[in-house]
Structure 1
Amino acid sequence: MSISVTTWHLEQTSPADLFPAQAPPAEQGVRIVRAEVPSPEFSRFLYTAVGGDIRWTDRLTWPYAQWAEFLGRPGTETWVAYEHGTPAGFVELAAEADGSVEITYFGLIPAFRGRRIGGHLLTYGVERAWDLAERWPGRAPAKRVWLHTCSKDGPHAMANYQRRGFRLYETTVTEEDEIPAPGPWPGAGPLTAGHTAGE
């Protein structure tokens, strides 16, 4: 059975476009740290833990070498949000040769959604996209930060991006085979209904 999937492409063209979200209270113990050592095991954990209930499936078939090659590319970064030492979500950045930085993935593990972490993590990730060149000698400063989201994603994702100052620049509609949500690992099944990535 096929379904219609709408994909929205959004962008910022200046650091001034960002509208920061308020950070969670200090007692919540939220901190954001860059995973500086490329780790396919850790990145795949984040990918499946965040995307298991919202049909993130495109990387499930990646072999170890493909994960390692992607994560090892200059200008690729993974920033992880922790709440009291436990991973809560992540934002993945990928610099491009034309001066763009793509937010390739962003979201929260279901148990951490609705806890005022998503807007803060997205804000931090966008700031790191804009200053990414400072951490990669020889790379030109970012000219644009962009991402895409789709109708399979959580219902609050689009609003979160727009609240942070992203502007819609392209919309496409495609037909795709309907795929059940795989859950975070085989046999786990979809997680609690009503939770959405990046909330």
Structure 2
Amino acid sequence: MILPDGYSDIPAGKIAAIVAHLEMTARPPHRNDPPGAWIMRKVDAAPLDWYRDLYRRVGEEWLWFSRARMTDAELAAIIHAPGIEIYALVVGGRDEGLLELDFRHPGQCELVYFGVTAGLIGTGAARFLMNRALERAWSGDVRRVWVHTCTFDHPSAVAFYQRSSFIPFRRQIEVADDPRLDGTLSRDAAKHVPIIE
């Protein structure tokens, strides 16, 4: 459905975001790593408690909620599936960034989740993680790498992805129940997105 021009009401208890889909269809030029003591490690058969903790610490401020609403069985079925790869950005021995790659569709790689914890934003850690993400994404028989972000995310997310050589190709509106109203996320999360009950 295409929304008409002008304003469209969103019911109380819901959130609405504009989602931008971005892609690249060729390996981008190499970008130098910023200075910093980061490493990326692959997490095979990611423990669910570990994944949920890092997902929350990275994404709660940006209203990442879909995985938080899943049962253990639903979450395990996705993150342990063949073709899914989970990585952590490690800083000082602690996992502070999340990268999830999906290779399940032949010739494609989706950056399903990408982000660093709040204290690392602006330090170069995200650039380091993106450099590793693109190295891995383009390491096989891949013709397309894509990602999506939305207006709940960090205000610099789209520009960051474009600097990384992603090109916008689609825009959508996503409407969902506000995860702060059912206890999925803290009511204090994402103060840049008002709660309307």
Is residue 121 from structure 1 mapped to residue 129 from structure 2 by the alignment? yes
CA–CA separation in structure 2 for the residues paired with 1:105 and 1:182: 23
Q: CA deviation at 1:46?
A: 1.4
In structure 2, what residue type is equivalent to 1:100?
A: Q
CA contact (8 A) 1:79 1:90 kept: yes
In structure 2, what residue type is equivalent to 1:8?
A: A
CA–CA separation in structure 2 for the residues paired with 1:181 and 1:158: 27
Which residue is 1:12 aligned to?
Answer: 24
Which residue is 1:142 aligned to?
Answer: 142
For the pair shown, which has the larger CA radius of gyration, 1 or 2? 2
CA–CA separation in structure 2 for the residues paired with 1:3 and 1:65: 26
Q: CA deviation at 1:21?
A: 4.0
Which residue is 1:46 aligned to?
Answer: 54
Which residue is 2:32 aligned to?
Answer: 22
Deviations along 1:76-115, whole A, 9 cap, x unmatched? Answer: 1112111121212111001133321110000011122121
CA–CA separation in structure 1 for the residues paired with 2:181 and 2:155: 15
Q: CA deviation at 1:70?
A: 1.1
1:107 aligned to which of 84, 91, 115:
115
In structure 1, what residue type is equivalent to 2:34?
A: P
CA contact (8 A) 1:52 1:182 kept: no
CA spacing shift, 1:46–1:19, aligned 2, 3 Å = farther
Q: CA deviation at 1:22?
A: 3.2
Q: TM-score, normalised by structure 1?
A: 0.79
RMSD across aligned positions (CA): 2.6
CA spacing shift, 1:159–1:102, aligned 2, 3 Å = same
CA–CA separation in structure 1 for the residues paired with 2:72 and 2:114: 21
CA–CA separation in structure 2 for the residues paired with 1:101 and 1:57: 22
In structure 1, what residue type is equivalent to 2:25?
A: T
CA–CA separation in structure 1 for the residues paired with 2:150 and 2:85: 22
CA contact (8 A) 1:36 1:78 kept: yes
State which drifts further: 39-48 or 101-110: 39-48
In structure 2, what residue type is equivalent to 1:47?
A: Y
Deviations along 1:95-150, whole A, 9 cap, x unmatched? Answer: 1333211100000111221211111211211221111x4xxxxxxx1121111111
Which residue is 2:93 aligned to?
Answer: 85
In structure 1, what residue type is equivalent to 2:52?
A: R
Deviations along 1:24-56, whole A, 9 cap, x unmatched? Answer: 32xx32111111233222211111110111111
CA spacing shift, 1:21–1:87, aligned 2, 3 Å = farther
Gaps of 5+ in 1: 134-140, 195-199
State which drifts further: 154-163 or 34-43: 34-43
CA contact (8 A) 1:55 1:179 kept: yes
Aligned length: 180
Gaps of 5+ in 2: 1-11, 193-197
In structure 2, what residue type is equivalent to 1:9?
A: H
In structure 2, what residue type is equivalent to 1:77?
A: E
CA–CA separation in structure 2 for the residues paired with 1:3 and 1:93: 26
